[in-house]
A and B are shown apart, each in its own frame.
Chain A
Amino acid sequence: MDIKNILSAFFWFAVLGGGLGALLALASKIFAVQRNERVEKIEEVLPGANCGGCGYTGCTACAEAMDAGIAKANACTVGGQELTDKISEILGIASVKTRRMRAQVMCSGTSEFSKHKYIYEGVPDCIAAVRIGGGDKTCPNGCIGLGTCVSVCKFDAIKIVDGVAVINYDKCTGCSSCVSACPKKIIKLIPYDAAHWVGCMSVDSGRETRAYCDVGCISCKLCEKHCPVGAITVDHFVATIDYDKCIDCGECVRRCPRKIIWSSKTAGGFMTINRGEIDFSVKGTGE
Chain B
Amino acid sequence: MSDLFILMLNCVLVENFIFHKFLGCCPFMGVSNKPDNAIGMGLAVTFVMTLSSAVTYVVYHYILVRFNLEYLQTIAFILVIAALVQFIEMFLRKFVPALYNALGIFLPLITTNCAVLGSALLEVEKGYNFIYSVVFGLSAALGFTLAIVIFAGVRQRLELADCPKAFKGMPIALVTAGLIAMAFSGFTGMSLS
Q: Is B75 an interface residue (CB 8 A)?
A: yes
Docked Cα-Cα span, A3 to B97, in Å, equals 49
Q: A16-B63, A16-B79, A33-B94 are in contact. Are A128 and B160 (CB under 8 A)?
A: yes
Contact of A12 with B80 in the complex, beta carbons under 8 Å? no
Alpha-carbon distance A8/B68, docked complex (angstroms): 9
Please tell me if the beta carbons of B63 and A12 are within 8 angstroms of each other in the complex: yes
User: Which B97-149 residues have C-beta < 8 A from chain A?
Assistant: none
CB atoms of A33 and B93 under 8 A apart: yes
Asked whether B76 lies within 8 Å of A13 as measured between CB atoms, the reply is yes
Q: Is B69 an interface residue (CB 8 A)?
A: yes
The interface-forming segment of A21-29, A90-98, A111-119 is: A21-29
Residue among B67, B69, B72, B94 making CB contact with A31, cutoff 8 Å: B94
Which of B59, B90, B91, B162 has the largest number of chain A CB atoms within 10 A?
A: B90
Q: Which residues of B contact A27 (CB under 8 A)?
A: 86-87, 90-91
Q: Report if B161 contacts A (CB, 8 A).
A: yes
In the complex, how many residue pairs between chain A and chain B have their CB atoms under 8 Å apart? Answer: 52
Contacts of A8 in B (CB 8 A): 67-69
Q: How many chain A residues touch the partner (CB < 8 A)?
A: 21
Q: Which of A23-48 contact B (CB under 8 A)?
A: 23-24, 27-28, 30-33
State in angstroms the CA–CA spacing of A223 and B5 once bound together: 76
Complex Cα gap A44–B94 (Å): 23
Q: Is the CB of A13 within 8 A of B160?
A: no
User: How far does the Cβ of B29 sit from chain A's closest Cβ, in whole Å?
Assistant: 21
A5 contacts across to B, CB distance below 8 A: 68
Residue of A nearest to B160 (CB): A123
Note all chain A residues with C-beta closer than 8 A to B160.
Answer: 123-125, 128
Q: A12 to B72, alpha carbons, bound, how many Å?
A: 11
Residue A211 at the chain B interface, CB threshold 8 Å? no
Partner of A20, one of B67, B83, B90: B83
Q: Would you give the shortest CB distance from A100 to chain B, in whole angstroms?
A: 32
| B interface list, Cβ under 8 A from A | 59, 63, 67-69, 72, 75-76, 79-80, 83, 86-87, 90-91, 93-95, 160-162
Chain A residues in the interface with B (C-beta under 8 A): 5, 8-9, 12-13, 16-17, 20-21, 23-24, 27-28, 30-33, 123-125, 128
